[in-house]
Structure 1
Amino acid sequence: MVKSSIARGWISMKEQFYILILLFIYRLFWGYFLYKFIKSAVVPVLLRYPDANAGGSGIGRLLYYIEGQTALRTDPAVQHWLWMLLALTVLRLLVTPFIRAGLLHELHQERDGARGLFFFPGMRKYGLPVLVFSLIEWALTLLPLYWLLPRMYRHLLSGVLDVQLLLKLVPYVLGWLLYLFLVRKLLLYMQFGYTAGTGMFSSLLICLKMLMPSIGISIVLGAGSLAVILLCSASALFYPGLPALMLRQAAPLPSTLFDMWGIAAQYHLWSSKSFPQ
């Protein structure tokens, strides 16, 4: 079942090749703006960090963090960059549900045997409902942090002087990421049902029944995506110069491909139970 869903997802990917190109360009522009932000705002701050290997002391690092906290509250330049980053992040968060709505509509039309450019009509038709699902996802994502952050804060403060103490945060972070993975998967299947008109809760039950195959799809495609990213990174190290630059510019393409492939594979797993043949 996992293999057939992945194979059918790949067929859907070929039908949606134009969406892949559009999303690649979108992520390319986002990566460019993020690069400019890091180069202009983050790198100058990091260059002033009193690292121990460069002769810095523990007191110097403590003063560095205190200065940083003060700058966050009083420095207009720092606040300007933070507001810009926040605005870009919010914009991307708002655009992402509309992109998913277009993908889901495209998959529904493909299942019905229709052919055409259904991505943008899907954004208009289901963009706002999928945005509501995303708002629920964000709320559920932040909810555990109400209990986790007070416990993690002590370790973060101690980690300023002893980096090894930050390892105590690993169980908290891993647990939160696992919770986030399950929430996203359940809500994705509910979106399948809502946009197809078969019902959200029936799709939720399908997700619970098919949870292990669904996780298997995520593991297989996630491993493939990671392998391609590592391969591109290694190639850039061994072939510096123009090849490395070209690989860096093309880096969003494989991640976008695997993201779309993953949604398509999960969709076909869901449709095999919602519309059995």
Structure 2
Amino acid sequence: MFSYIKSGFRSTLNQPFSVLVLFLYRFGWGVALYKLAQSYILPILHRYPNVEGLEAQSHLFLAEAQFVLLKTDVSHSVLWLLAGLLVARMLLTPLLNAGLLYSLSNPHYNAGYRFVRGIKELWKSYALLYAGQTLLTLLPLWWILPRMKTAFLSARTYPEMASELLPLLALLLGYSFVVRLLFLYLQLGRASSRSMGRSLGIALQSLPMMLGVAVLLLLAASLCSLAVLGSTIAWAGFWMLVLYQAYRFIQTLFSVWGIASQQEIYRTRAER
């Protein structure tokens, strides 16, 4: 297991162009969401009554906000903007996946060339695979959402509600995690010109190793995130802002590292 992680890390270091592109994409996405929150949420917060004000003022603020949201169309522009951002993300994700996975599967080409070539050659098939992954990920909601609604309405206390909802959420997250990994192997197969049946067989045969590597790297990335979060609480200032932006790069590195480790598993099993 650790040999795949080490090989994946070495492969990640050979992907400077892909890592840089994904980092700039994440950074740009973060800036867009920050500007959106700054434009719409901060003006609302400025209208919130003073902490030392009367409790009636807070109730009046909430009643006014509820009236504006439900009885006017002021939220429509925000919802349309969020929908546009979501569509843009869904369109860009298959393109970036195509460039990254083709680059990992064809290290003999020039770094920038193989990334662009992967997008040109694979974007259509990757878009279809991404649509299938999204559909399968959302499919269990028709079964889970009614049960979550029932648990929410029938619970008398917050601990009781949590005991009903958390297992359902954990089940949904675990299912989504496995679906994402299976479709990753289908994408790796497409990048290396192997059939979907062959790639799915490799994924099922490698399922314990695949999950083990993914969980280990996820835990490492989570520990890194907790360390950065703790630093932001204990140490605020300019250098903390620099550290947070550097963490975005580390986060991207972990993401590529996880995919590269899975590619090493796929390549090894495919060559047997």
Superposition TM-score, scaled by structure 2 size: 0.87
Residues in 2 aligned to 1:189 and 1:222: alpha-carbon distance in whole angstroms: 18
1:81 and 2:78 matched: yes
Q: Which residue of 1 aligns with 2:34?
A: 35
1:229 and 2:225 matched: yes
Aligned-partner SS, 1:76 = coil
Q: Pick from 82, 86, 90: which aligns with 2:87?
A: 90
Q: Aligned AA for 2:104?
A: L
Residues in 1 aligned to 2:142 and 2:62: alpha-carbon distance in whole angstroms: 28
Q: Aligned AA for 2:212?
A: G
Q: Answer yes or no: is the 8 Å Cα contact 1:229–1:254 preserved in 2.
A: no
Residues in 1 aligned to 2:209 and 2:41: alpha-carbon distance in whole angstroms: 41
1:151 and 2:147 matched: yes
Q: Which residue of 2 aligns with 1:15?
A: 14
Q: Aligned AA for 1:228?
A: C
Q: Which residue of 2 aligns with 1:205?
A: 201
More displaced stretch, 137-146 vs 229-238: 229-238
Against the structure 1 CA distance between its residues 171 and 65, is the aligned structure 2 distance closer, same or farther, given a 3 Å change threshold?
farther
Aligned-partner SS, 1:240 = coil
Q: What does residue range 57-136 of structure 1 map to in structure 2 within 5 Å?
A: 64=62, 68=66, 71-110=68-107, 113-117=108-112, 118-136=114-132
1:178 and 2:174 matched: yes
Against the structure 1 CA distance between its residues 55 and 267, is the aligned structure 2 distance closer, same or farther, given a 3 Å change threshold?
farther
Aligned length: 268
* Cα drift, residue 115 of structure 1: 3.9
Gaps of 5+ in 1: none
Residues in 1 aligned to 2:128 and 2:45: alpha-carbon distance in whole angstroms: 38
Residues in 2 aligned to 1:121 and 1:86: alpha-carbon distance in whole angstroms: 29
Q: Which residue of 1 aligns with 2:262?
A: 266
Q: Answer yes or no: is the 8 Å Cα contact 2:101–2:188 preserved in 1.
A: yes
Aligned-residue identity in percent: 32
Residues in 1 aligned to 2:13 and 2:63: alpha-carbon distance in whole angstroms: 50
Q: Answer yes or no: is the 8 Å Cα contact 1:225–1:258 preserved in 2.
A: yes
- Root-mean-square deviation (CA, aligned residues, Å) is 3.0
Residues in 1 aligned to 2:259 and 2:65: alpha-carbon distance in whole angstroms: 44
Residues in 2 aligned to 1:47 and 1:269: alpha-carbon distance in whole angstroms: 52
Against the structure 1 CA distance between its residues 107 and 183, is the aligned structure 2 distance closer, same or farther, given a 3 Å change threshold?
same
* Cα drift, residue 73 of structure 1: 5.0
> Which of 1 and 2 has higher RCO (CA within 8 Å, sep 6+)?
2
* Cα drift, residue 274 of structure 1: 0.6
More displaced stretch, 189-198 vs 264-273: 189-198
CA offset digits 1:137-169 (Å, max 9, x no partner): 11111111112112222444578x965454121
Aligned-partner SS, 2:194 = coil
Superposition TM-score, scaled by structure 1 size: 0.85
Q: Answer yes or no: is the 8 Å Cα contact 2:12–2:256 preserved in 1.
A: yes
